[in-house]
């Protein structure tokens, strides 16, 4: 059996059969560009598969060597990849510059860091394994644009030609001269390998006199001020001063380019992966460096605690109480994972979990409460009384005690909101109930949150919390 075949056999031990079959078909029959920087969410939609099952499958497949994971810093404007990393721990810059959009961005984990998968060369050789040999159009598709750009498969070449006036391939140290006829458009001379751009605002009366412009590409200087030119002939001198191949292209910043850049689709963000239980289980020791701090603009935290657990041990004895508490942990872990969340840590009989959105946390909280009621009914007692608190907001992802953790006021508030809850209560904040998907979830279950005013330690103002009945 081939190495790929051995990997698929191993993968079937951890992954749903339908997802393995879809991965097998993609690896065997997919086009080269479909196996480079795979968008797992698009893969799931295309094959009619569950997103969480697909994410888990690719994580397991990467762990056994079928795919290489890439953490890509994106430009939110053009969707281009500003930096690519083999692990999250190597994202070290405070700011990234996109020359094409002439703007600077901080790499938050919500929407500016994507996670993609490329088939390993051990499984199948594809063109993206040798990016310096890709033609210009494929370099853009497979290396420059992130997986959130919904690039058309069949009409891509025609669309690319529609906004590209000319292009040239330059080896290290090579120079080329292009003769162009400039239209009355906003023109961008863009080089995707060095991320260099020169804007040309072509306007005014057409001229027959040949205009001249010289540009050089290096790693230090990636953007110049906009130059005004007139419609008409241009002698463009391009020089590659890097040690890699350069691919300067002359593009019209018009409707065709804007249409492509505006065609977006959901993609797997770093935030979503950090809140995925399979990822935490498989990659817990090498996610972040100890001195690394990465910002998340919105993450939902859920804290639980067992009311009266000390009395429980006294009442039923250590062995019985331990078994009950462990059964409660198993149920909570299953529910968190099923709602696209991840358990960050347990503290005594308490659980801290994260979710990508407030509605998934509230759905988990409701399922947890119902599950504890069932366990109590099975045991003929009221021993497992769960208190739950939920809050959403910004935080910092950090590495603490050899695990990936979170820090910030949002975490503190979520913990203190849980501390206000009575037994079998779910207390949430306004940030949670004001979320549109949470409101829809609660309406569907005919649940009306009850507002309470409370004082939280460390918060000077009165805080509104909501009890979900």
pLDDT tens string, the chain, 469 residues long: the values are 478 888 999 999 999 999 999 999 999 999 999 999 999 999 999 999 999 999 999 999 999 999 999 999 999 999 999 999 988 888 888 889 999 998 999 889 988 999 999 999 999 999 999 999 999 999 999 999 999 999 998 899 999 999 999 999 999 999 999 999 999 999 999 999 999 999 999 999 999 999 999 999 987 766 678 999 999 999 999 999 999 999 999 999 999 999 999 999 999 999 999 999 999 989 865 567 656 778 999 999 999 998 756 666 667 666 777 878 888 899 999 999 999 999 999 988 899 999 999 999 999 999 999 999 898 888 777 777 899 999 999 999 987 777 788 999 999 999 999 988 877 789 999 999 999 999 999 999 999 999 988 888 777 677 889 999 9
* Listed residues 199, 232, 247: the one ending a domain: 247
The answer to whether residue 266 sits within a structural domain is no
In 3D space, the residue among 167, 161, 164, 156 whose CA is nearest the CA of residue 183 turns out to be: 164
The answer to whether residue 139 sits within a structural domain is no
Count: domains in the chain: 3
Q: Count of alpha carbons within 13 Å of 29, Cβ hemisphere only?
A: 5
Kindly state whether residues 100 and 194 are assigned to the same domain.
no
The answer to whether residue 321 sits within a structural domain is yes
Kindly state whether residues 367 and 223 are assigned to the same domain.
no
Kindly state whether residues 450 and 307 are assigned to the same domain.
yes
Kindly state whether residues 444 and 378 are assigned to the same domain.
yes
What CATH number has the domain bearing residue 396?
3.30.70.1230
Kindly state whether residues 291 and 239 are assigned to the same domain.
no
**What pLDDT was estimated at residue 271?**
94
> Rounded to an integer, what distance in angstroms lies between the CA atom of residue 17 and that of residue 325?
33
**What pLDDT was estimated at residue 349?**
86
The alpha carbons of the chain give a radius of gyration, in whole angstroms, of 27
Angle at 456 between CA 455 and CA 458, to 5 degrees: 125
Q: How many other C-beta atoms lie within 10 A of the C-beta of residue 467? A: 15
Residue 80 in contact with residue 72, Cβ under 8 Å?
no
Kindly state whether residues 201 and 57 are assigned to the same domain.
no
Query: 119's torsion region: left (phi>0), alpha (psi -120 to 50) or beta?
Result: beta
Note the pTM of the prediction, 2 decimals.
Answer: 0.89
Q: Which residues contact 346 (CB under 8 A, 6 or more apart)?
A: 329, 352
* Listed residues 94, 127, 160: the one ending a domain: 127
Kindly state whether residues 307 and 443 are assigned to the same domain.
yes
* Listed residues 217, 247, 277: the one ending a domain: 247
**What pLDDT was estimated at residue 232?**
97
Kindly state whether residues 456 and 335 are assigned to the same domain.
yes
DSSP H or E run through 326 = helix 318-338
Kindly state whether residues 438 and 304 are assigned to the same domain.
yes
Kindly state whether residues 437 and 295 are assigned to the same domain.
yes
Kindly state whether residues 463 and 376 are assigned to the same domain.
yes
The answer to whether residue 148 sits within a structural domain is no
Kindly state whether residues 122 and 179 are assigned to the same domain.
no
The answer to whether residue 84 sits within a structural domain is yes
**What pLDDT was estimated at residue 454?**
82
Q: Which residues contact 184 (CB under 8 A, 6 or more apart)?
A: 202, 203, 204, 206, 231
Residue ranges making up the domain that contains 177? 169-247
The answer to whether residue 150 sits within a structural domain is no
The answer to whether residue 260 sits within a structural domain is no
**H-type alpha helices, 394-469:** 409-420, 430-433, 436-444
The answer to whether residue 134 sits within a structural domain is no
């Amino acid at each position: 059996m081939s190495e790929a075949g051995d990997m698929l056999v191993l993968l079937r031990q951890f992954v749903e059969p339908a997802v393995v079959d879809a991965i097998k078909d993609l690896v065997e029959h997919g086009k080269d560009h479909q196996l480079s920087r795979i968008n797992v969410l698009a893969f799931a939609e295309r094959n009619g598969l569950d997103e969480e099952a697909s994410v888990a499958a690719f994580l397991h497949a990467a762990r056994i060597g079928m795919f290489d994971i890439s953490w890509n810093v994106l430009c939110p404007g053009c969707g281009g990849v500003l930096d690519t990393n083999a692990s999250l721990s190597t994202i070290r810059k405070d700011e990234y510059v996109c020359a094409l959009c002439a703007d600077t961005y901080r790499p938050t984990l919500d929407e500016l860091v994507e996670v993609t998968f490329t088939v390993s060369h051990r499984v199948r050789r594809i063109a993206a394994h040798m990016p310096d040999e890709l033609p210009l159009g494929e370099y853009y598709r497979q290396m420059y644009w992130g997986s959130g750009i919904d690039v058309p498969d069949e009409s891509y070449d025609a669309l690319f030609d529609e906004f590209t006036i000319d292009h040239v391939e330059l080896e290290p140290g090579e120079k080329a001269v292009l003769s162009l006829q400039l239209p009355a458009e906003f023109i961008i001379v863009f080089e995707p390998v060095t991320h260099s751009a020169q804007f040309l605002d072509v306007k005014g009366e057409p001229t027959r006199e040949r205009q001249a412009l010289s540009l050089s590409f290096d790693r230090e200087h990636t953007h110049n001020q906009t130059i005004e030119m007139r419609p008409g002939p241009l002698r463009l001198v391009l020089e590659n001063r890097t040690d890699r191949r350069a691919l300067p292209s002359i593009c019209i910043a018009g409707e065709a380019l804007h249409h492509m850049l505006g065609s977006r689709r959901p993609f797997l963000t770093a935030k979503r992966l950090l809140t995925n239980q399979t990822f935490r289980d498989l990659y817990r020791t090498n996610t972040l460096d100890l001195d690394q701090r990465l910002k998340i603009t919105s993450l939902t935290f859920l804290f639980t605690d067992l009311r009266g657990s000390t009395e429980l041990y006294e009442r039923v004895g250590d062995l019985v109480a331990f078994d009950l508490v462990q059964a409660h942990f198993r149920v909570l872990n299953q529910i968190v994972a099923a709602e696209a969340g991840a358990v960050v840590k347990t503290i005594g009989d308490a659980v801290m979990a994260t979710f990508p959105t407030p509605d998934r946390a509230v759905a988990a909280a409701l399922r947890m409460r119902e599950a504890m009621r069932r366990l109590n009914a099975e045991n003929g007692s009221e021993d497992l009384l769960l208190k739950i608190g939920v809050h959403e907001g910004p935080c910092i992802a950090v590495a603490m005690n050899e695990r990936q953790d979170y820090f910030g006021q949002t975490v503190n508030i979520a913990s203190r909101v849980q501390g206000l809850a009575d037994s079998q209560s779910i207390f949430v904040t306004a940030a949670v109930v004001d979320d549109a998907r949470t409101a829809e979830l609660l309406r569907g279950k005919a649940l009306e949150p009850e507002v309470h005013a409370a004082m939280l330690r460390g918060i000077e103002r009165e805080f509104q919390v909501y009890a979900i009945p």
